[in-house]
Amino acid sequence: MFLVCGEALFDFFSQPEGGNHSNRVDFQAVAGGSPFNVAVGLSRLGIDSALFAGLSSDYLGHRLRTVLKDEGVRPDYLVDFEAPTTLAMVAVGDDGSPQYSFRGEGCADRQLRLEHLPVLDEQVRGLHIGSFSLVVRPIADTLLALVRRESSQRLISLDPNIRLNPEPDIQRWREQISAFAEHAHLIKVSDEDLSLLYPDLDPQTVAEGWLNQRCQLVFLTRGAQGVSVFTRQHGTWSVPAREVITADTVGAGDTFQAALITYLTEHQLDSPSGLEALSREHITEMMQFAVAAAALTCTKVGPDLPYRDELVGVDMPENRG
């Protein structure tokens, strides 16, 4: 099982303007948050998953819990709080890319503290962390304590997924991502996030810095330009993106992340030692599978992550080792 850690919230997508009511803006509310999406994405791809998150006791919090139940995400690590649910106001640009504005100060997803840290058993193969839960307190301190405790015995996956609205101080992001990266075995980062973090450094330099610690693999997603990987053992190379008619890109990065973990789990390589055993061919297959999954998400509106049977055309070879 993979335990995904971080925020669960509702995305409010602005709808196209229509009618004669200039004083009205229509929204569609969709359960989301990057960690929430990854947990759901793993379950849809057939991987046992759970979410370590704070949920509100309000109506939206109950709805989040219901969605997780319906999606097959295990509820064992959810913690209830008498605090509101975070709202993310989303406007999608002409190119399909989303713009976010968060209403989250004091909300339930930020309230996880050290006393809420779970005891993990051998069923938990790895942890995934990312997004603004890395930087907002108290949850950021709690998750850092968790990965420090667990990184010597479980696979740690990290996706910075920077959102400057909840925390506009980029130096805070740099410090926190650096702290988490010390304990991560696999890091996935978008070119946009990397340019925000380190505008004066080239990706190779940043990746090599991460690879000099515990990290074995760094995946750099480049949107329509595909994805590059930086490895300790096999060098650096890229695979192209798939050409699709894009509805929007919401959830594509989370889909890519869930697909990477799915590949490792299906091949029984979801451990620190498993990453070390990956061949160049394995890594290429993993990227191709993740690219195909993310491309499918881009053909849909909103974070509608794919199911495993939707990817039968890119079915993965049997485990080679």
1 and 124 Cβ atoms separated by less than 8 Å: yes
Any idea what the CATH number is for the domain that residue 186 is in? Answer: 3.40.1190.20
- Beta-sheet strands, E only, within 57-106: 78-81, 87-92, 98-103
Q: How many distinct structural domains can be found in the chain?
A: 1
SS3 4: strand
Q: What is the pLDDT of residue 319?
A: 39
Beta bridge partners of 2: 49, 126
Q: Distance of alpha carbon 296 from its chain centroid, rounded? A: 17
Radius of gyration over alpha carbons of the chain, in Å?
A: 19
Closest alpha carbon to 286 in 319, 304, 265, 263: 263
**Residue 318, in any domain of the structure:** no
**Residue 317, in any domain of the structure:** no
**Residue 127, in any domain of the structure:** yes
Q: What percent of the chain has pLDDT over 90?
A: 76
**Residue 314, in any domain of the structure:** no
| Residue 186 banded pLDDT, cuts 50, 70, 90 | very high
**Residue 20, in any domain of the structure:** no
Task: Look up tokens 């794919």; give the residue.
Answer: 306
Question: What global pTM score does this model have?
Answer: 0.91
**Residue 39, in any domain of the structure:** yes
Task: Look up tokens 């304990």; give the residue.
Answer: 183
How far apart are alpha carbons 153 and 150 in whole angstroms?
A: 6
pLDDT digits (tens, 9 = 90+) for 257-294: 999 999 999 999 999 999 999 999 999 999 999 999 99
Residue 124 CA: distances (Å) to CA of 2, 37, 208: 6, 19, 29
| Residue 315 banded pLDDT, cuts 50, 70, 90 | very low
Domain that holds residue 273: 2-12+28-308
How far apart are alpha carbons 282 and 261 in whole angstroms?
A: 13
Closest alpha carbon to 45 in 299, 321, 293, 298: 293
Higher pLDDT, residue 215 or 313: 215
Q: What is the mean pLDDT of residues 186-195?
A: 96
Beta bridge partners of 30: 11
Q: Distance of alpha carbon 186 from its chain centroid, rounded? A: 12
DSSP 121: -
Q: What are the residues whose beta carbons fall under 8 Å from the beta carbon of 262, sequence distance 6 or more? A: 42, 45, 46, 47, 289, 308
How far apart are alpha carbons 197 and 1 in whole angstroms?
A: 31
